[in-house]
Amino acid sequence: MVATEAERLEIVSSSERLAELEHQWTQLWQAGDALIFQSHGWISAWWTTLKNQNQVALRVGLVWNGDRLVAVVPLAITRRKGLRFLEWAAAAYTDYGDILRAPDCTDAALARVWTQIRQAGGYDLVFINRLLPDAAAWRLFDPETKGGAKLRPNHREEISSRMAGDWNSGAAWFASHPKKVRHNHRRSIRILEEAGTVQFRLLGPDEPLGPVLQKLALLKRRWMERTGRNVSELFDESAEALPALVEVLARAGILRLFVIEVNGAVAAISVNFVQRDTMMAWVTTYDPDYARASPGMVLIFEYVQWSFDHGLKMVDLLCGGEAFKDRLATHTVALQSLMGTGSAKGSLAMLADNLRRKFRQKTEKVEAEPAEGTSA
């Protein structure tokens, strides 16, 4: 499709312009039934709470048809490991990356806005990740199209774990599990009950979120420190991103925040949201003092049953390679990534990454081969 004369392009790079776009962006987001990750609220909450905003540059591509916004390509340039990455805005907090596009936005206009972003430079590598198979962004970044000609498939594939089936209730879903799994769930509840009265509940719309989110961040920090992981900025003690992003979910009317309480004290928390008849589990954590009872798993079992009891068709555990997801999922969806270069430094980094990957593959192949004189 050829771009029309009415279509004009814009690259947003300032906080002021980003704020001005709220109404038009939200209209486009709502009209397309897009995920919250592509909403103006989500991107703005990430941007306005960034601690190192001076180290990040907005590169949000827009296509206008007259005075109507018809496409948003939400990108930013970030820095890590000595390189500048052109990637999704709010990438650290976004499980599914994508663009927004109205039906009447032409392929030609999208290709032009992507070309403008690329030609503006300022980055070493392009990294477009977490692409669902049906993402609208494939029309823009597909290596087989002119617009995506500078990008190539990357080996960094991620998995989304999901639960869906012919269950008409939570009890039916629970009954579909082996006897041992059901027994372990009930046993975990009994262990929790040894400490006091146990309650699973969904926070009401009028309950204050602040205390629960503070507890969530505290528990996440304790878990990360205990497991030797770097504490994410999302859970930093002074960070504002978590409450800002959860507020976006609440304002959109899709927040479902579940807790398990023991004697009124929180033992596990899960920040979820509902879109497209699907319960999506964004952040889950638990109090390690109750680790023997696996309260995080108890909470997952409880909100999955709640979801099917309330007519939802699927539970999506989103990204992450945790082992429990493999045990629960009925199926998985592969999320693809694309990579390209924007500088000589980026080309060298990409070459080095490919060489490392080939070396690892060769090493793994040699280690997997039986030793001489032994049978396979």
CATH code (residue 120):
3.40.630.30
Q: Is residue 90 part of a domain?
A: yes
239 and 120 inside one domain: no
Rounded CA separation 65/50 (Å):
31
141 and 289 inside one domain: no
214 and 88 inside one domain: no
Rounded CA separation 39/36 (Å):
5
Reported residue count of the chain is 376
Rounded CA separation 222/159 (Å):
26
54 and 82 inside one domain: yes
Rounded CA separation 302/314 (Å):
14
- Tens of pLDDT along 114-139? 999 999 999 999 999 999 999 999 98
199 and 149 inside one domain: no
pLDDT at 237: 79
- Residue 257 belongs to domain spanning: 165-329
As given in the structure block, the two tokens for residue 146 are: 């002119």
Task: Name residues of the chain where pLDDT drops below 50.
Answer: 1, 147-148, 373, 375-376
As given in the structure block, the two tokens for residue 34 are: 């897009």
Q: Is residue 151 part of a domain?
A: yes
How many CB atoms lie under 10 A from the CB of residue 304? 21
Q: Is residue 113 part of a domain?
A: yes
346 and 324 inside one domain: no
Listed residue (299, 291, 317, 285) closest to 217, CA to CA: 285
The answer to whether residues 114 and 66 touch, using CB atoms and an 8 Å cutoff, is no
119 and 185 inside one domain: no
Residue 184: enclosing H or E segment and its boundaries? helix 179-193
Listed residue (273, 266, 283, 271) closest to 224, CA to CA: 283
pLDDT at 364: 67
193 and 322 inside one domain: yes
pLDDT at 370: 61
pLDDT at 357: 80
Q: Is residue 93 part of a domain?
A: yes
Listed residue (102, 160, 105, 94) closest to 127, CA to CA: 94
Q: CA 101: distance to chain centroid?
A: 20
50 and 137 inside one domain: yes
DSSP strand E in 234-320: where?
A: 255-262, 265-275, 278-286, 314-319
pLDDT at 1: 46
Amino acid at 15: S
pLDDT at 371: 53
Q: Is residue 215 part of a domain?
A: yes
The answer to whether residues 112 and 9 touch, using CB atoms and an 8 Å cutoff, is yes
